[in-house]
Amino acid sequence: MAVHTGFEIQIDEEARGDTRFNEPDGEFFSRTGAIYKVKALGTNEGQQDYKNTQNLAADRWHNYEIEVKNQQYIVRLNGQEATRFRSATTDTRGNPPSVDPTSGYIGVQTHTGNVAIANIRIRTL
Protein backbone atom coordinates (compact mmCIF):
# COMPACT_ATOMS: atom_id res chain seq x y z
CA MET A 1 0.00 0.00 0.00
CA ALA A 2 2.69 2.51 0.95
CA VAL A 3 4.46 2.29 -2.41
CA HIS A 4 1.23 3.48 -4.05
CA THR A 5 0.31 6.22 -1.55
CA GLY A 6 3.68 7.41 -0.27
CA PHE A 7 7.36 7.13 -1.04
CA GLU A 8 9.28 3.98 -0.17
CA ILE A 9 13.00 4.17 0.48
CA GLN A 10 14.51 0.97 -0.86
CA ILE A 11 16.59 -1.57 1.11
CA ASP A 12 17.91 -4.12 -1.38
CA GLU A 13 21.61 -4.47 -2.17
CA GLU A 14 20.75 -6.94 -4.93
CA ALA A 15 18.57 -4.30 -6.64
CA ARG A 16 16.03 -6.86 -7.74
CA GLY A 17 13.52 -5.80 -10.35
CA ASP A 18 9.80 -6.32 -9.99
CA THR A 19 9.08 -9.52 -11.92
CA ARG A 20 5.39 -8.61 -12.15
CA PHE A 21 6.39 -5.81 -14.53
CA ASN A 22 9.39 -7.51 -16.20
CA GLU A 23 11.83 -5.06 -14.61
CA PRO A 24 15.47 -6.16 -14.86
CA ASP A 25 17.69 -6.46 -11.80
CA GLY A 26 20.25 -3.75 -11.10
CA GLU A 27 18.26 -0.60 -11.85
CA PHE A 28 19.24 2.37 -9.64
CA PHE A 29 15.67 2.86 -8.37
CA SER A 30 15.73 -0.63 -6.88
CA ARG A 31 19.00 -0.12 -4.96
CA THR A 32 19.38 0.63 -1.28
CA GLY A 33 18.84 4.32 -0.59
CA ALA A 34 16.79 5.04 -3.71
CA ILE A 35 13.22 6.29 -3.77
CA TYR A 36 11.61 3.09 -5.02
CA LYS A 37 9.95 3.31 -8.43
CA VAL A 38 11.01 6.92 -9.07
CA LYS A 39 12.72 6.06 -12.34
CA ALA A 40 13.75 9.53 -13.53
CA LEU A 41 17.32 10.59 -12.69
CA GLY A 42 18.05 14.27 -12.24
CA THR A 43 17.65 17.25 -9.94
CA ASN A 44 14.30 18.54 -11.18
CA GLU A 45 10.97 18.08 -9.43
CA GLY A 46 9.83 14.44 -9.70
CA GLN A 47 13.38 13.18 -10.37
CA GLN A 48 15.86 11.75 -7.90
CA ASP A 49 19.53 12.63 -7.72
CA TYR A 50 20.73 9.12 -6.82
CA LYS A 51 24.44 8.90 -6.13
CA ASN A 52 24.95 6.04 -3.68
CA THR A 53 28.27 4.32 -4.35
CA GLN A 54 28.49 2.28 -1.15
CA ASN A 55 28.42 -1.50 -1.18
CA LEU A 56 26.74 -2.32 2.10
CA ALA A 57 28.10 -5.48 3.68
CA ALA A 58 25.63 -8.00 5.06
CA ASP A 59 25.69 -9.02 8.72
CA ARG A 60 26.70 -5.60 10.04
CA TRP A 61 24.75 -2.55 11.16
CA HIS A 62 24.36 0.43 8.87
CA ASN A 63 22.94 3.88 9.59
CA TYR A 64 19.96 4.96 7.49
CA GLU A 65 18.68 8.54 7.82
CA ILE A 66 15.63 9.82 5.96
CA GLU A 67 14.98 13.56 6.15
CA VAL A 68 11.71 14.99 4.85
CA LYS A 69 10.99 18.72 4.73
CA ASN A 70 7.78 19.58 2.93
CA GLN A 71 8.22 17.66 -0.35
CA GLN A 72 12.04 17.42 -0.26
CA TYR A 73 13.48 13.99 0.66
CA ILE A 74 17.14 13.35 1.51
CA VAL A 75 18.39 9.83 2.22
CA ARG A 76 21.74 9.25 3.90
CA LEU A 77 23.48 5.88 4.33
CA ASN A 78 26.23 5.75 6.93
CA GLY A 79 26.36 9.56 6.91
CA GLN A 80 26.75 9.87 3.12
CA GLU A 81 23.98 11.28 0.95
CA ALA A 82 22.53 8.50 -1.21
CA THR A 83 19.73 10.37 -2.96
CA ARG A 84 17.84 13.64 -2.98
CA PHE A 85 14.30 13.90 -4.29
CA ARG A 86 11.63 16.60 -4.55
CA SER A 87 8.11 15.37 -5.17
CA ALA A 88 6.36 16.80 -8.21
CA THR A 89 3.45 19.11 -7.45
CA THR A 90 1.31 16.88 -9.67
CA ASP A 91 2.26 13.71 -7.76
CA THR A 92 -0.57 12.25 -5.69
CA ARG A 93 1.82 10.28 -3.49
CA GLY A 94 3.23 11.75 -0.29
CA ASN A 95 0.91 14.73 -0.09
CA PRO A 96 1.63 17.28 2.67
CA PRO A 97 -0.88 17.62 5.56
CA SER A 98 -2.23 20.86 4.02
CA VAL A 99 -3.41 18.78 1.04
CA ASP A 100 -4.19 15.49 2.77
CA PRO A 101 -4.14 15.57 6.59
CA THR A 102 -4.67 11.79 6.77
CA SER A 103 -1.50 10.95 4.81
CA GLY A 104 1.80 10.07 6.41
CA TYR A 105 2.30 6.32 6.22
CA ILE A 106 5.57 5.14 7.77
CA GLY A 107 6.47 1.50 7.23
CA VAL A 108 9.41 -0.85 7.51
CA GLN A 109 10.35 -3.23 4.69
CA THR A 110 9.99 -6.91 5.46
CA HIS A 111 9.19 -8.70 2.20
CA THR A 112 12.68 -9.62 0.91
CA GLY A 113 15.49 -11.42 2.69
CA ASN A 114 16.48 -10.91 6.30
CA VAL A 115 16.49 -7.33 7.50
CA ALA A 116 17.05 -6.35 11.13
CA ILE A 117 16.12 -2.85 12.21
CA ALA A 118 16.86 -1.14 15.53
CA ASN A 119 16.67 2.29 17.12
CA ILE A 120 14.03 3.89 14.91
CA ARG A 121 13.52 7.53 15.83
CA ILE A 122 11.12 10.09 14.39
CA ARG A 123 11.48 13.77 15.20
CA THR A 124 10.07 17.03 13.99
CA LEU A 125 12.61 19.26 12.22
What is the model's pTM?
0.83
Range of the domain at 30: 1-125
- Per-residue model confidence (pLDDT) at position 96: 64
In tens, the pLDDT along 21-58 reads: 898 999 999 899 999 889 999 999 999 999 999 988 88
Q: Helix or strand or coil: residue 5?
A: helix
Q: Is residue 114 pLDDT above 90, yes or no?
A: no
Average pLDDT of the chain is: 84
Percent of the chain scoring above 90 in pLDDT: 35
User: For residues 47 and 74, is the Cβ–Cβ distance under 8 A?
Assistant: no
The DSSP output letter for 54 is -
The DSSP output letter for 3 is H
Count CB-CB contacts under 10 A for residue 38.
23
- Count how many domains the chain has: 1
In tens, the pLDDT along 62-103 reads: 999 999 888 899 999 999 999 999 988 777 676 666 776 666
